Amino acid sequence: MNASAGLSVRPADSPRDRDHFLRLPERIYRDDPCWVAPLMLMSKDSIAPKNPVFEHVTWQPFLAWRGDEVVG
């Protein structure tokens, strides 16, 4: 099977998409006993427009979707 079959990559622009973006590592690493999830508040702050780094950079998160499921 082709791993990219039915895969689409789209910007994570909406609040719901940003939530998917922040929660994706939980799904990817949930079975790894060495992984410790970051605090959600810290993750949200890191991508918030008030973060001072955004005075110097342009940033756009993306999500990979296969149908209705976020896969990357």
Would you say the C-alpha torsion 41, 53, 25, 6 has a positive or negative sign?
positive
- Would you state the pLDDT for residue 25? 92
- Would you state the pLDDT for residue 23? 93
- The whole-model pTM stands at 0.79
Largest CA distance in the chain: 44
Dist. CA 15–CA 50, nearest whole Å: 15
CB atoms within 10 A of CB 61: 14
Going by pLDDT thresholds of 50, 70 and 90, the confidence category of residue 3 is: low
- Would you state the pLDDT for residue 41? 87
For 22-71, the pLDDT digits (tens) are: 999 999 999 999 999 989 888 988 888 888 988 899 889 999 999 999 99
